[in-house]
Structure 1
């Protein structure tokens, strides 16, 4: 197996000094994630200093360390470890000869990134690379780049932001051949103030496009024209995707497949493709169309992508479905605990309404970073909950107070301050035959409820 990096290459990329010859097969900046043969990048952060965990990383199997001080282990000494990680990411991108895809959007980034990877890996097994988890910020993106093998045919990178100019810096590091905006929704409104400002910030992804690059845009978005105007300044090709007439990549027809997914017939520019999506909901149909547009743009195989959609299981925190023994029967648990904004909440609740169950129970956590409009956005979830025939809603977090008020006299609900109080309610709340949706912003901690249910602790 060829090494991912040699000590000499790391030193050259970071302008550092190597203490010895060594090779590494991976890169990590969290000592808890270090595997055998990895490079550990010891970085000084606001909360802690990675240099304190060098011995722990070595014990876990790290083959070398990037650090700012001399140590008694193989290492590359640099002036600034954070800057060194950036430099390593840039060097990785420079040596790659594959096709690079960048993904951003207010919702659907991680799912789209994972589906793209699955589609391209099915076409070229072992030759596709993607950022793991939701490593999409100023530290996660260079780490994901640094982990990319030099022999990769495809690289798929998720990029996020919550301030203007953040995405511009990331996309110039990734330098994508294809840039996707999945959707525009009122996420991070606390920092932007309007959806138009969010659209402008998401449009920064096009600034890093390579010459001849392709921009892929959500045709059904009310901000499509705004995004297109931005893309026209940077992209050689613009491809739209959507569920309505006029999109370049369009779902001609789609319907439930009877197993929680969808059967889709899509027009992909000059090609027609019929396929199954294992994931539920119209938002996944839209995500799939963006993926097909990108696969075509980088010369991938559309039928292989179609097969990948059918095989793709739900992601933890983003739609994973669990059928669990409970109370002498079973419950369906839908895990959407990682993220939430008004658009994704409404879409997920609407899909939840199609689930067959004795009762539908929604456990909803507060949506964060919504700014002055937060009360209205939370209260606005009442109508989708009623339309979905949800029999009980457990609302978690103080921001949910406006929704609690809006639900009075409409459906049964309880409002609790945090995930610990929510857990105390579950034994009396859930019963066999229920479908249970868990969705909220990650910081609310609803993943603890999912873990407890899946481990049989409730």
Structure 2
């Protein structure tokens, strides 16, 4: 019989709280919409809403107990500070797990790489690889992800993000990884950090939580490679680079495969491996090298990992592909709506150019957030990848994209609209059979709503205008 994730007694001990009744929990969440029967609901305080206002809803959905800072009707553990108590659960969950843990960060690619790494490790340990869900990678998401980790997990894979210096340092000391991985450095969050060097330094903080003799994995293909190596070397027993040229782990050969992904032969630290990647694009070749480097560092099965990379499907908001029915045929909708910065914009536009199409290549590009004073320059700078990658028509979303519209004046058909609703209408007016459409923006722009409206709730479910 599988033991519960938490008993009320264990929650008391981890948080210093007091249980109103005995109960067991098989899951943990702080979102009442996610509650499943038998789960613990964490009533987190918030700037917009207080979780205590949703305790009744959580119990109605089947929660077995709640973690609260004021008494409620129903089984609960009463604590002084709910956020601090969740961290207490995280600390205990990490301490009782006897497997290996990986921490993943980076300006781009961290969620996709985290998902790919979890899939690679699951190939040999199905059901015993725990990973952070969604993009739960901040000061509340990481403790929640840890608190959800089953005690018998063989591997844990945790994503860590940041908006300011020092945030990853705090998170990685909770996660205590055996292996850390930095995917790439790009001008995400430069509004808060001020420079690319500061971004690199903030990402390198992930090595500060490494377990003794841990392995730090860093990208070779960045101007900040030496800066990263110097920073992580202070905390790592071994530093490994991945990428091109002189990287420790590199692709000896990579070509586009018939299904749209890539066929790769890689030189690892101790072997060579030929494998396929289901995901299209050069950036996924790089991501796959990072994944295999981590798998090898863990002493896991790299051949099984290679098979897993070939089987991976698209990730919602990060490359998921939808076949959309339109009058007279189908169009392809590529969902990259979750996040965007200049590097990821250029990478996905390159992928769009490689799509075999019978119609046109359209791009719906929204604002890249958190660029601060660099916003106008970085948005205007997208003109080159747009023009270089065979985009036939462009729909821009948001006032911040105006510099790009001006840069492309007279060179390309461009429509700029205010929001996701207007972008949806503009796309549906234009969509034809054989078209391939890239949808990409920072998550705050809300283009996921466009994808849902046009593609429907599931791949292949179309919309006929």
Q: Which residue of 1 aligns with 2:459?
A: none
Q: What are the superposed Cα offsets for residues 221-276 of structure 1, whole Å, 9 maximum, x if unpaired? A: 1100000000110000111100x221111011100102110000001112000000
Cα distance between partner residues in 1 of 2:383 and 2:46: 41
Q: Which residue of 1 aligns with 2:331?
A: 331
- Displacement of 1:49: 1.1
Structure 2 Cα separation of the partners of residues 82 and 157 of structure 1: 19
Instruction: Verify the 8 A CA contact 2:393 2:412 in the aligned structure 1.
Output: yes
Q: Which runs of structure 1 show a deviation greater than 3 angstroms over 4 or more consecutive aligned residues?
A: none
- SS of match in other structure, 2:354: coil
Report what 2:370 is aligned to.
Answer: 369
Alpha-carbon distance in structure 2 between the residues aligned to 1:47 and 1:363? 30
User: What SS does the corresponding residue of 1:155 show, helix, strand or coil?
Assistant: strand
Q: How does 1:297-308 map to 2 (within 5 A)?
A: 297-308=297-308
The equivalent residue for 1:169 is: 170
* Residue equivalent to 2:411: 410
SS in structure 1 at match of 2:188: coil
- State the alpha-carbon separation in 2 of the partners of residues 322 and 41 from structure 1: 35
Q: What is the CA–CA distance in structure 2 between the aligned matches of 1:251 and 1:203, rounded to whole Å? A: 24
Structure-to-structure mapping, 1:48-447, within 5 angstroms: 48-242=49-243, 244-357=244-357, 358-447=359-448
SS in 2 for 1:148: coil
Residue aligned with 1:314, SS = coil
Q: How many residues matched?
A: 457
The SS at the match of 2:123 is helix
How far does residue 409 in structure 1 lie from its aligned partner after superposition? 1.4
Using the size of structure 1 for normalisation, the TM-score is 0.99
Q: Give how far 1:72 is off.
A: 2.7
CA shift for structure 1 position 58: 0.5
2: CA distance, partners of 1:5 / 1:230: 37
Distance 2:46 2:453 in 1: 32
Tell me the CA shift for residue 93 of structure 1. 0.5
User: Residue deviations 1:274-322, cap 9 Å, x none?
Assistant: 0000000011010110110111111110011011111100101000011
For the residues of structure 2 that align with 1:290 and 1:365, how far apart are their CA atoms? 29
- Gaps in structure 1 of 5+ consecutive residues: none
User: Where do 5+ consecutive residues of structure 2 fail to align?
Assistant: 457-461
CA distance in structure 1 between the aligned counterparts of 2:293 and 2:454, rounded to whole angstroms? 38
Provide the C-alpha distance between the structure 1 equivalents of 2:205 and 2:423, rounded to a whole number of angstroms: 39
Deviations 1:169-193 (A, max 9, x none): 0000001000000000000111011
Please state how far the C-alpha of 1:74 moved relative to its aligned partner. Answer: 1.1
Query: Following TM superposition, by how much is the alpha carbon of 1:427 offset from its aligned partner in structure 2, in angstroms?
Result: 2.6
Alpha-carbon distance in 1 for matches of 2:424, 2:315: 22
Give the stretch that moved more between structures: 434-443 or 321-330. 321-330
Whether the aligned pair in 1 keeps the contact of 2:106 and 2:183 (CA below 8 Å) is yes
1:423 deviation in Å? 1.7
Per the TM alignment, residue 100 of structure 1 is displaced from its structure 2 partner at its CA by 0.3
Tell me, in whole angstroms, the C-alpha distance in 1 between the residues paired with 2:78 and 2:95.
22
Q: Distance in 2 between matches of 1:150 and 1:362?
A: 45
What is the TM-score when the length of structure 2 is the normalising length? 0.97
Q: CA RMSD in A?
A: 0.8
Distance 1:266 1:21 in 2: 53
SS of 2:325's equivalent in the other structure is strand
**d(CA) in 2 for partners of 1:13, 1:264:** 46
Distance 1:18 1:344 in 2: 47
**Are the aligned partners of 2:428 and 2:454 in contact in 1 as well (CA < 8 Å)?**
no
